[in-house]
Homo-oligomer: A and B are copies of this chain.
Amino acid sequence: MTEVTVKRLSAADADFDATLDRLLAWEDSVDHQVNESVRHILQAVRTRGDAALLEFTSKFDQVDAASVAELEISAERLQQALDKIPADQREALEKAAERIRSYHERQNAGSWQYEEDDGTVLGQKVTALDRAGLYVPGGKAAYPSSVLMNAIPAKVAGVGEVVMVVPTPGGTVNELVLAAACIAGVDRVFTLGGAQAVAALAYGTETVPPVDKIVGPGNIFVATAKREVFGTVGIDMIAGPSEILVICDGQTDPDWIAMDLFSQAEHDEQAQSILVSPDGDFLDKVETSIRKLLPTLERAEIIAKSVSDRAALIQVEDLAEAAKVSNRIAPEHLELSVADPEALLPSIRHAGAIFMGRYTAEALGDYCAGPNHVLPTSGTARFSSPLGVYDFQKRSSIIGFSAEGADRMGRVASVLARGEGLTAHARSAEYRVKS
């Protein structure tokens, strides 16, 4: 029997704020040995290229190759993987990909410009990145859905080339991951992993082309390497543990809610599942469901630890207070399991993704709703967004002054530049002023 404890909090308690702060805190300590090791690997790949890549891949993944070219997986091999996976899985992946593509196409931003009366033109030119790198973890955390969620927005954005890296420890290849890469239209795949794969993507080697941005999840070595190469290339967010917050009015089947909480808790022991409801009896029922359903789950050990350490059932006065608690947490996933989610939506200010109504299980969003499952964690939804097409595009300002516009605005710039003591700026503007 798996032991589990379930914390109960009330927003009315005097120490609620402090208790909630403690609950939300998680261990994110910097490991100096990891830092040193990652810096060494980055430096080696940067200076010695393919040779260093081969050494690290032999050492860490037990894969020996004569050249990095041998570690590239051909388009034919990807197609083969797609052809040989079970039909229901292929169909599900293709359906998911279609929905992800369709949603993300609506994020595509266009360039724009406008002309002023004097003929001056201002605008914003949107261009895709030339090349993006996608890190996909190997081993047990190899998720084909992540391949779709990371690669499809890049392709929709118009990225010229998407280069994927995925480690194959001991030579073990995940066919579903390769099939997903095929469906998503990934252009090149290398069986590389760890900090050395991040280095190869950031700096390029004789065989691996350098990319402009690296996205995708990874372990502490990968995350540390991404942090280090940031600036040389763009990166997506460094993710913390996954979290869900469910606001329920007490009218959803408590088994459903318990399972929704579990679907987050099963990710890992640091994952966080929080239920907020004005209905104390309902919180009791969900706790009963938790205890009843937990033993039936494959990943019961992980879930029991995650629930015991990091979950909470929180009683609030009403749904308005529930929204306040949610805004304070700024959850990655937010389920509004209530009769009228539309009525509650305007009071929600911060959340990575919002799941509306009792039928919208968070798990649907993880796979095939369409929106991205790469979402801001640890309260960063206060200032950041789901991964999207916008992460693979950048803007350039367009400024085109007519002679008349340069005359008028040159005078303004001149005054301001002289006010700041930047006289070369002033004189550059003044050359365009009619005397």
Q: CB-CB < 8 A to A365: which residues of B? A: 397, 399
Q: CB-CB < 8 A to A370: which residues of B? A: 122, 399
Q: A122-B371, A266-B422 are in contact. Are A396 and B356 (CB under 8 A)?
A: no
Establish whether residues A357 and B395, one from each chain, have CB atoms under 8 Å apart when the complex forms. Answer: no
- The interface stretch among A66-74, A275-283, A423-431 is A423-431
Q: Which residues of A are interface residues toward B (Cβ below 8 A)?
A: 88-89, 91-93, 95-96, 103, 106-107, 112, 114, 121-122, 124-125, 127, 129-130, 140, 143-145, 176, 212-213, 231, 233-234, 238, 253, 255-256, 259-260, 262-263, 265-267, 297-299, 303, 341, 345, 348-357, 359-372, 375-376, 378, 380-386, 388, 390, 394-403, 405-406, 409-410, 412-413, 415-417, 419-429, 431-432
Establish whether residues B372 and A416, one from each chain, have CB atoms under 8 Å apart when the complex forms. Answer: no
Closest chain B CB from A404 CB (angstroms): 9
CA distance A130 to B348 in the complex (A): 12
Interface of A is mostly: mixed
Q: CB-CB < 8 A to A405: which residues of B? A: 359
Instruction: Give the contacting residue for A353; candidates B231, B260, B397; CB below 8 A.
Output: B397
Closest chain B CB from A76 CB (angstroms): 23
CA distance A288 to B315 in the complex (A): 77
Instruction: Give the contacting residue for A359; candidates B350, B366, B401; CB below 8 A.
Output: B401
Establish whether residues A424 and B93, one from each chain, have CB atoms under 8 Å apart when the complex forms. Answer: no
Instruction: Give the contacting residue for A380; candidates B231, B376, B384, B397; CB below 8 A.
Output: B231
How many copies of this chain sit in the oligomeric assembly? 2
Which residue of B has the minimal Cβ distance to A355? Answer: B399
Q: A89-B416, A383-B234 are in contact. Are A401 and B369 (CB under 8 A)?
A: yes
Between-chain CB contacts (< 8 Å), 29 pairs: A93-B416, A106-B114, A122-B371, A127-B349, A144-B416, A212-B382, A231-B238, A234-B380, A234-B383, A255-B431, A256-B432, A259-B428, A263-B422, A263-B425, A267-B422, A297-B423, A355-B400, A356-B400, A359-B401, A359-B402, A361-B413, A364-B406, A364-B413, A369-B409, A381-B396, A385-B396, A386-B395, A386-B396, A388-B395
Establish whether residues B92 and A399, one from each chain, have CB atoms under 8 Å apart when the complex forms. Answer: no
Establish whether residues B382 and A92, one from each chain, have CB atoms under 8 Å apart when the complex forms. Answer: no
Which residue of B has the minimal Cβ distance to A114? Answer: B106
Instruction: Give the contacting residue for A425; candidates B212, B256, B266, B396; CB below 8 A.
Output: B266
Q: CB-CB < 8 A to A234: which residues of B? A: 380, 382-384
Q: A341-B400, A363-B413, A416-B145 are in contact. Are A428 and B256 (CB under 8 A)?
A: yes
Instruction: Give the contacting residue for A417; candidates B103, B363, B396, B421; CB below 8 A.
Output: B363
Q: CB-CB < 8 A to A353: which residues of B? A: 396-399
Closest chain B CB from A161 CB (angstroms): 13
8 cross-chain pairs, A with B, having the tightest CB-CB distances, nearest first? A356-B400, A234-B383, A371-B397, A359-B406, A353-B397, A262-B424, A92-B415, A363-B425
Instruction: Give the contacting residue for A95; candidates B125, B364, B412; CB below 8 A.
Output: B412
Instruction: Give the contacting residue for A368; candidates B238, B355, B416, B423; CB below 8 A.
Output: B416
Q: CB-CB < 8 A to A410: which residues of B? A: 361, 364
Among A112, A238, A422, residue most surrounded by chain B Cβ atoms (within 10 Å)? A422
Establish whether residues B299 and A423, one from each chain, have CB atoms under 8 Å apart when the complex forms. Answer: yes
Which residue of B has the minimal Cβ distance to A375? Answer: B397
Known: A106-B112, A350-B396, A355-B399; 19 extra A-B contacts, CB below 8 A, are A92-B416, A93-B416, A106-B114, A125-B345, A231-B238, A262-B428, A263-B424, A263-B428, A297-B427, A299-B424, A341-B400, A353-B399, A359-B401, A359-B403, A361-B410, A371-B398, A371-B399, A372-B397, A388-B395
CA distance A348 to B123 in the complex (A): 15
Q: CB-CB < 8 A to A367: which residues of B? A: 412-413, 416-417, 425, 429
Establish whether residues A360 and B400, one from each chain, have CB atoms under 8 Å apart when the complex forms. Answer: yes
